[in-house]
Amino acid sequence: MKLDYLCLGLVAALLGFSVAAESGLVASKLRYAGKAPIVSLRKALPSELPGWQVEHLRIGPTETDSSEIARTLNFDQLIFRRYHSAMGSFSLYVAYWPPQKMSPVLVGGHTPDRCWVSSGWTCDAESLSWTCDVDHKPLFPAQYRVFHDAAGEVQQVIYWHLSGGKPFGGDYHINSSRSIFAYWKSVFLYHTGGNDEQYFIRINSQQSFESLWNDPGFRKLMEALAKLCLADPVATHSKAAGDARGSPPRAGVTGG
């Protein structure tokens, strides 16, 4: 008898989930049907920076095969550029998903911690809350990493994954196994129309970010990223108005 009640309960739960999912998907489609794209990365992010030359890139080895990753990540828009100057170079990677396009758990599974390491890079240091501000606007805390490859090349990396206008990933450590609860929470939101737009932003360079922050061209790019999605609206109101323009990053870096 108890088994029968358990089976009935499971069936009822599945039916409830199916109804909620269908209702959520319909509501989501109605909400965004006929609307213009929410954002244009090409318009929002300058391709020309003072003192820098730009090179437009295809997705490379650190993101796995280009065609395969495009199918897997299913992004709507992608910007992938390398900027060169006399001081060195840095790369910018920005992907965008409109609401209800992709589960944030799936997007969060393709970070440098996974893709770079699987391509032969080794993580030497990390910070889980890398902070900075641009033009008096504090940015959302970023993930910071230092990697090296077999040839000895060293790259400093910062990245953000935003979902619904705030950093995603608070339910689990990015380097640890994701919790079952966080996974199914994301799945439920995805199938009930609860997922918002997402951004994944990565900047990597052999140069230190402290030196890049002092460059007017790099600062122009960071100002555009802040306006696009990276400015933390809560921190902006709590910061003192006298903070230095374009403050370099501040983070407690630990070995990893």
pLDDT of residue 102: 75
Residues 88 and 7 in one domain: no
Residues 108 and 137 in one domain: yes
pLDDT of residue 125: 93
Residues 155 and 248 in one domain: yes
Residues 22 and 45 in one domain: no
Residues 71 and 25 in one domain: no
d(CA 6, CA 194): 28
Residues 86 and 139 in one domain: yes
Identify the domain containing residue 203 by its residue range. 37-255
Residues 12 and 97 in one domain: no
d(CA 68, CA 140): 30
Residues 24 and 64 in one domain: no
What domain count does the chain have?
A: 2
Residues 233 and 221 in one domain: yes
Residues 147 and 187 in one domain: yes
d(CA 27, CA 25): 5
pLDDT of residue 26: 38
**Which parts of the chain have pLDDT scores under 70?**
1-38, 60-73, 169-195, 236-256
Which DSSP string do the residues of 161-224 spell out, in sequence order? EEETTEE--TTS-TTSPPPHHHHHHHHHHHHTT----EEEEEEEESS-HHHHHT-HHHHHHHHH
pLDDT of residue 192: 47
Q: pTM surpassing 0.85?
A: no
Residues 165 and 223 in one domain: yes
| Token output for 142 | 């970023």
Residues 19 and 90 in one domain: no
